[in-house]
Amino acid sequence: MKSLWFFLAGLFGGLGGLGGEWRWAWVPGLASALLGAMGARKRFSGLAPIPPRKGLPVTVPPTPEMENEDRRNDTTRAFLKGDLAMAGQELQARETRRLALQEVEDAIDATLFDGLTLLKDAVPKGHTYAVLFPGKSEGYYFRAWITSSDNLVPGAALNSNQGLAGQLLKENIKRVLEGDIVADSSQLHYYSSAEEKIRSLAGVPIVVKGVRRGAVLVDSREPQAFDSGTLDKLEALAHIAGNLAYHAYMAFEKGVHADQLTALTNYQRKFLENMSVENIVGHVQNYMAECLEGDRFMVVERKERHGNTARITSCLGTSAADLQGLEFSLLDKGLVSLVFEKEQIINRAFPPNPYVPRFSPGEKAQGRMASLLAVPVPTDQGLDMALVVESARSRRFPEHQQNMLTTIARAAGFALSRARLYQEKEQLASRDGLTGVDNHRTFQERFQTEILRAQRYNHQLAVLMMDIDFFKKVNDSHGHPIGDVVLKDVAKIISQSIRAGTDLLARYGGEEFVCMLADTDRTLAAETAERIRESVATRVFEAGSTRFQVTLSIGGAMYPSDSKHGREILEKADKSLYRAKETGRNRLVFYN
């Protein structure tokens, strides 16, 4: 059942284009060919591939592998000619789509070969019989053929300026019929030698829905080998082959399109299921890799909101390790910078040389890319993110893919706006409004988690309780605004002296701070405490024309040597702090 549409498309398309006695000769042959196609028999040319000879005007793929993979995959887009906006190269996984497309291509190839076999029986004077399909370039290439020649170039390309056969690419040419060719057959461009001495050529274009999508031709070494009846047979095969391939590709692409729309809906739902900016970025990255045909996928963000420096925060694909974390200036006017500056979509195809910078003028080319699509992610907080996908193939991002990425970018932007508002509210609830460090409640929650971790891994940890000496005198002498400056600067000095993401710092109340140092022994804790104390003591503050300094008293306690309970460790650190104040201030005292 999986290939039933192959049968129907080919059969009914063929019946519509045949007439007279010829129709009744082709019906059983066509049925046989399509039944063979359902078995996905592989195409063969009747000969082993012959390597091209240098110096002849023949366009060929560099390797048989490219002919089998790249040319056939490019044909899908070229053959449809925009009748269906391409859905991309990915389904739920790249390998899934590759295998599905391979099955479609194999079935088409098998049917084309069977059609050529029937044509050879009906036109016995032929030397080479061929079906040509459009490829990546403007011309056609040999998709399937049967030949008696040792000089046919496998997968040869044909352009409109290449002799008699090239006439089949011109819109005003309906048929080509020549029975007295006197020039060298190398003018046919698909032979590597003039030894063939071709005298006759017949060919017709493949036209589906009024658009040229390939050609069928036959040549012969005999003069006047073909007549109008031959052209009728060629047109019948062209009609069958064209409709078969068209409907096969259309059905395949519609299936991919449906899968992509399903994926888009799923990711939009995922965006709204969580309030994490990091998770949203991860989902966006997965969507691009799953549903777009590209070789490199990037999420680019401003380092600071409304700032002029951006960073590649996430990268998958070619040279990902080299680009991950790359920072660049938006003032350098690279292509991606225009997304932030103009808030516009960038969809570009590049020539092989010279290299066009994506981010900054002096950047190193990381994997030769021929196409780039960059889409802004708009949020309520402004434009500070862009999605970028690149491909090694030229013109790989048609309007459909651009629209799909734009849609996901808008959905992601809406989700990011909500997530950021949620995080800001959470931060307001967990942070001290003046200094920006954790508040007392947040510290208590996180501290209990760190105690459990230390117990599990048998680690030590230190607690430092810190108080600004004579802080009331600062407020009384210089005013509360200056006092606030002192509190913020002291909090900043402490933050810069501990490990971000590992140690904890909180404003414990008034002019008092508490710091927890994870996986730290008494010696390292004392070194950190002294470094903080000395940094605060050397800081000079200004209040008008007055310059002054403050000092810090510090009390410390250790887990598990002083206690194995979090509350007791805090109490003992607090007692040590008061001991430091009683013995002269501006000093460190550990619990003893």
Catalytic positions are 511
Q: Tell me if residue 391 falls in helix, strand or coil.
A: strand
> Partners of 386 in the beta sheet?
300, 376
> Which pair of structure tokens corresponds to residue 454?
């230390």
Quote the strand ranges of 76-139, DSSP E.
128-134
Measured CA to CA, the distance from residue 414 to residue 418 in angstroms comes to 7
Quote the strand ranges of 370-420, DSSP E.
371-379, 382-391
154 to 57, 59, 151, 157, 403: CA distances (angstroms): 14, 10, 9, 9, 38
CB count in 10 Å sphere of residue 326: 18
| 150, 191 contact by CB (below 8 A) | no
At residue 64, φ and ψ (nearest 5 deg) are -60, -35
The two beta strands, 541-543 and 546-548, are antiparallel
Q: Which residue is it, tokens 């019906």?
A: 27
At residue 80, φ and ψ (nearest 5 deg) are -75, -25
Residue 53 DSSP label: P
> Which pair of structure tokens corresponds to residue 172?
């005003």
> Which pair of structure tokens corresponds to residue 414?
């809406």
Measured CA to CA, the distance from residue 489 to residue 484 in angstroms comes to 9
| 430, 439 contact by CB (below 8 A) | yes
72 to 135, 146, 323: CA distances (angstroms): 7, 18, 32
Q: How far is CA 442 from the centre of its chain?
A: 39
Measured CA to CA, the distance from residue 292 to residue 270 in angstroms comes to 18
Contacts of residue 71, Cβ cutoff 8 Å, sequence gap at least 6: 61, 135, 136, 141, 155
Q: Which residue is it, tokens 């391409």?
A: 86
Q: What is the 3-state secondary structure (H, E, C) of 190-244?
A: CECCHHHCCCEEEEEEEEECCEEEEEEEEEECCCCCCCHHHHHHHHHHHHHHHHH
Instruction: Pick the closest to residue 203 from 159, 240, 246, 168 (CA basis).
Output: 168
| 537, 586 contact by CB (below 8 A) | yes
End-to-end CA distance of the chain: 83
Quote the strand ranges of 27-182, DSSP E.
128-134, 140-147, 157-158, 176-178
Measured CA to CA, the distance from residue 218 to residue 511 in angstroms comes to 94
> Which pair of structure tokens corresponds to residue 149?
């020649």
